Amino acid sequence: MGKGTFASGNTNRLSRRQIAWLVANEIPDGSYVNLGIGIPTLCADHMPEEKEILLHSENGVLGFGPRPEEGEEDADLVNAGKQPITMLKGGSYFVHSDAFGMIRGGHIDIAMLGAFEVSGNGDLANWTTNNPTFPPGVGGAMDLAAGAKEVWVLTEHQTKDGSAKIVNKCSYPLTSARCVKRIYTDLAIMSIGDDELIVEGMVEGMSVEELQQRTEPKLRLSDSYVVLSAPDL
């Protein structure tokens, strides 16, 4: 195995929907949140009813809800990833430029983004892998990474071949530098520290030593560490 490549092993990994469920339940009440393409979009289906969380999309939507039931989709009502959505009471539509004005004006509390790589100091690479067969797509990611008050990354901990996605230094072109505050993966929840990643939770059966084998930056277990659990989704 080369540098940054670690055996996946048998672990109690969270599904993509379980990651989304955990994250949705950690969003503070009253937040304005943008859900990026990938795992983040699944969060819309798992928002806690007791909280008022306003979901924002770059194509000009604020206050949308979960994916509609099959057969009830409206082709004119989609998120930035062209996935069908529903609208909540009080939701609104507006021009694309206003949506980006909200982002650039610092009015989005949390941007949830996917990632190809995240570095230990919070650098984010999520728009290209330099693979000529994989077309790059910045979309609104750079605006969100720079304009949102916080950036949370939702991603698998490793690539399909076992390579680390949480790295010492990103090898792909950056979306933004030092922008990520929290990382949610199928193995753990981590926050960016001064010179290490702070592990706030891990899946059952995972030790910090095993997690370190799959993670390049130095890890430190939080004093308030929890075992992650989520319903079957």
Tokens 């989704």, residue located? 233
Q: Is residue 53 part of a domain?
A: no
Consecutive H or E run containing 18: helix 16-24
Sequence-ordered strand ranges (E) for 138-196: 150-154, 166-167, 180-184, 188-192
Neighbours of 95 (CB within 10 A): 10
Task: Report how far apart the first and last C-alpha atoms of the chain are (Å, whole number).
Answer: 33
Is 156 annotated in the active site?
no
**Over the stretch 205-222, which tens digit does the pLDDT of each residue have?**
999 999 999 999 999 999
202 vs 214: CA distance, rounded Å? 13
Q: Is residue 222 part of a domain?
A: yes
How many structural domains comprise the chain? 1
- What's the whole-number mean pLDDT along residues 119-141? 88
Structural domain of 176:
16-38+106-228
Q: Is residue 49 part of a domain?
A: no
Catalytic-role residue among 26, 49, 52, 58:
58
**Over the stretch 177-209, which tens digit does the pLDDT of each residue have?**
999 999 999 999 999 999 999 999 999 999 999
Cα→Cα distances 144→12, 34, 101, 148, 209, Å: 32, 8, 11, 5, 33
Q: Is residue 215 part of a domain?
A: yes
Three-state DSSP at 77 gives coil
Q: Is residue 101 part of a domain?
A: no
